[in-house]
Amino acid sequence: MANQTGGKRRAQVWTFEDGRLRPRRDDLAVEEPLEIRLKASGQSRRVAVTMRTPGSDFELAAGFLFAEGVIAGREALDRIVYCVDEDQDGEQRFNIVSVELRATALPDLTGLERHFTIGSACGVCGRAGLDALRARGCAPLAGGPTLRPELIAALPGRLRDAQGLFGATGGLHAAALFDASGVLLAAREDVGRHNAVDKLVGWALLQGRLPLADVALLVSGRASYEIVQKALAAGIPIVCAVSAPSSLAVSLARSFGLTLVGFLRGERFNVYAGVERVTPPSPD
């Protein structure tokens, strides 16, 4: 299942510097709509339209559907393909992904909020409330790796090294998975921070690696309720963010035993929940 790439685009800009306005070429992060469709036994339904950066589209669709509880696992999937426009000589529509299920009917989507249009900046609100998460089978997290403070502090630098599109455009969010020794397992970029996480969850789902019980997730922006919810759905016990968490994200993390790290900058960070997964520094 090959994915379309093309996360950046050249543009003419003018730069004001040293008192002069000069023309130059610049790279922009691409933002385009992606429609996600569900198919089962001849039935088809549009589930979401999200603004995203092209690339890893199949992972994005799979991760979104799993994180929102529409599918229970990889076994629910038959195949994921780009739609073909039969009116245009079979031309592939790279902004429409069709997720074909093995089920005999489409799942009940009445509980999926805001499923027709999703902004890249705000993502999907998810199912509000702790009871809804528990009803999906999200249990409090137990175990998981214990990370040294100096290892946690090193993660943002390792993520930046993996951000090829950000280096070219400066306009993308990123998310990455690391193992207990700080080795980068996978990284994804997107104009939407929620999309970047969905791409990672989709990667793990399609690779048969869920639940991700022995990894840490790092996001380049803030830690929102939606980010923590997606991590819980994937079984991720540690979430680190370069920026601040929201109050609801902290409450959710504490309720489900997830370790939440915020303001991860330089040698300093805050632990808002699950401090037991952070190894105390050795006494001087």
Average pLDDT over residues 196-208: 97
Asked whether the beta carbons of 196 and 188 are under 8 A apart, the reply is: yes
Interatomic CA distance for residues 231 and 241, integer angstroms: 12
Active-site positions?
A: 122
| Ordered structural domains, the chain, with CATH | 32-135 (3.10.20.10), 149-277 (3.40.140.10)
Question: In the predicted model, is pLDDT for residue 112 greater than 90?
Answer: no
Report residue 120's pLDDT band, with 50, 70 and 90 as the boundaries.
very low
Question: Which residue has better confidence, 87 or 272?
Answer: 272
- Amino acid (one-letter) located at 39: K
Cα angle 93, 97, 103 (rounded to 5 degrees) comes to: 140
Mean pLDDT computed over every residue of the chain: 84
Say what the pTM is: 0.85
